[in-house]
């Protein structure tokens, strides 16, 4: 029900101070002050540094900093039960998203497309995985890019990077001259690689700016759907827990699938050559 307790008080009671109200769908708010505190000797109820009074057992509810409802029929507590990990941060971002204020998700930026699978937004995860593969595999199969990568591989084998410190100045100059001639001699491949990198960064920036808004829509849609299908508040919270949160398993499978696709394309290209 969200009722805050002092740890020692809760251990002594063995249950929530508002346990008798749970069957009524009770939810604690900062105005609630009727916890059933255990009886204590009079001397223990005096304010001292060692033993604070019962009034000091209340701690601030972190959700009290937000309005009770994010949207009609969807409370901040509902969202916290759905989001779970870093809920306070995301609730704050959701209020910004609702008012069309710009937010940026560094997690989504650095871990596109895997962040979507982690947050159980599988459709968006599949879309951005396909786009990411298109930008990597799609560009890499172009003949000018293949040629440049093959030349770079030969250059790396010829001039082992680990042995560069042992090269004379003339050998180093020769190595970098060959590399520059190789790049300048294939301008199409070089430009395509730069375009590939620029598009990849642009995609990540776009996702970083839109991620919180998408996650807000995903969260609100699922909460409203669960509430429409299940009237029992206790069962609703269980369904929030199952539908929301994070999925490490889905993230791992997404990484595995991405790597397998890249490997399959590389093997196919090698076979064709």
Q: What is the pLDDT of residues 2-21, one digit of tens each?
A: 787 777 777 777 778 887 77
pLDDT band at 60 (very low <50, low <70, confident <90, very high): low
What end-to-end distance do the CA atoms of the chain give, in Å?
Answer: 65
**186 touches 147 (CB < 8 A):** yes
Three-state secondary structure readout of the chain? CCCCCCHHHHHHHCCCCCHHHHHHCCCCCCCCCCCCCCCCCHHHHCCCCCCCCHHHHCCCCHHHHCCCEEECCEEHHHHHHHHCCCHHHHHHHHHHHHCCCCCCCHHHHHCCCHHHHHCCCHHHHHHHHHHHHHHHHHHHCCHHHHHHHHHHHHHHHHCCHHHHHHCCHHHHHHHHHHHHHHHHCCHHHHHHHHHHHHHHHHHHHHHHHHHHHHHHHHHHHHHHHHHHHCCCHHHHHHHHHHHCCCCHHHHHHHHHHHHHHHHHHHHHHHHHC
Q: Which of 12-26, 112-126, 181-195 has the highest mean pLDDT?
A: 112-126
Cα distance between residue 140 and residue 146, in whole Å: 6
User: Which of 119, 113, 117 lies closest to 217 in space, CA to CA?
Assistant: 119
Does residue 43 surpass a pLDDT of 70?
no
Q: What is the pLDDT of residues 226-273, one digit of tens each?
A: 999 999 999 999 999 999 999 999 999 999 999 999 898 888 877 776
User: Which of 208, 250, 245 lies closest to 110 in space, CA to CA?
Assistant: 208
**Which pLDDT value is given to residue 78?**
93
Percent of the chain with pLDDT over 70: 85
Does residue 1 surpass a pLDDT of 60?
yes
pLDDT band at 99 (very low <50, low <70, confident <90, very high): confident
**Which pLDDT value is given to residue 273?**
64
**88 touches 62 (CB < 8 A):** yes
Q: Which residues contact 69 (CB under 8 A, 6 or more apart)?
A: 75, 76
**Which pLDDT value is given to residue 183?**
86
Q: Which of 2-11, 28-37, 62-71, 248-257 has the highest mean pLDDT?
A: 248-257
């Amino acid at each position: 029900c969200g009722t805050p307790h002092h740890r020692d008080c809760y251990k002594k009671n063995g249950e929530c101070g508002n346990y008798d109200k749970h069957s009524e769908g009770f939810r604690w708010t900062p105005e609630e002050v009727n916890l059933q505190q255990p009886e204590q000797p009079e001397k223990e109820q005096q304010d001292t540094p060692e033993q604070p009074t019962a009034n000091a057992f209340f701690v601030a509810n972190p959700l009290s900093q937000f309005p009770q409802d994010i949207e009609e029929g969807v409370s901040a507590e509902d969202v916290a039960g759905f989001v779970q990990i870093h809920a306070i941060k995301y609730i704050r971002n959701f209020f910004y998203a609702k008012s069309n204020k710009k937010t940026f998700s560094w997690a989504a930026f650095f871990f596109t497309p895997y962040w979507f699978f982690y947050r159980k937004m599988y459709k968006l995860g599949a879309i951005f995985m396909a786009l990411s593969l298109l930008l990597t595999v799609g560009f890499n199969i172009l003949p000018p890019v293949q040629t440049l990568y093959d030349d770079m591989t030969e250059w790396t084998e010829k001039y082992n990077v680990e042995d560069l410190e042992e090269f004379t100045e003339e050998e180093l100059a020769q190595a970098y001259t060959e590399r520059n001639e190789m790049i300048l001699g294939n301008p199409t491949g070089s430009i395509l690689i730069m375009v590939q990198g620029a598009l990849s960064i642009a995609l990540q920036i776009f996702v970083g700016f839109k991620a919180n808004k998408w996650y807000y829509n995903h969260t609100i849609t699922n909460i409203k759907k669960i509430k429409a299908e299940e009237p029992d508040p206790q069962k609703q919270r269980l369904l929030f827990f199952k539908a929301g949160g994070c999925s490490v398993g889905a993230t791992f499978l997404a990484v595995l699938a991405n790597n397998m696709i890249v490997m399959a394309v590389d093997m196919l290209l090698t076979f064709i050559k």
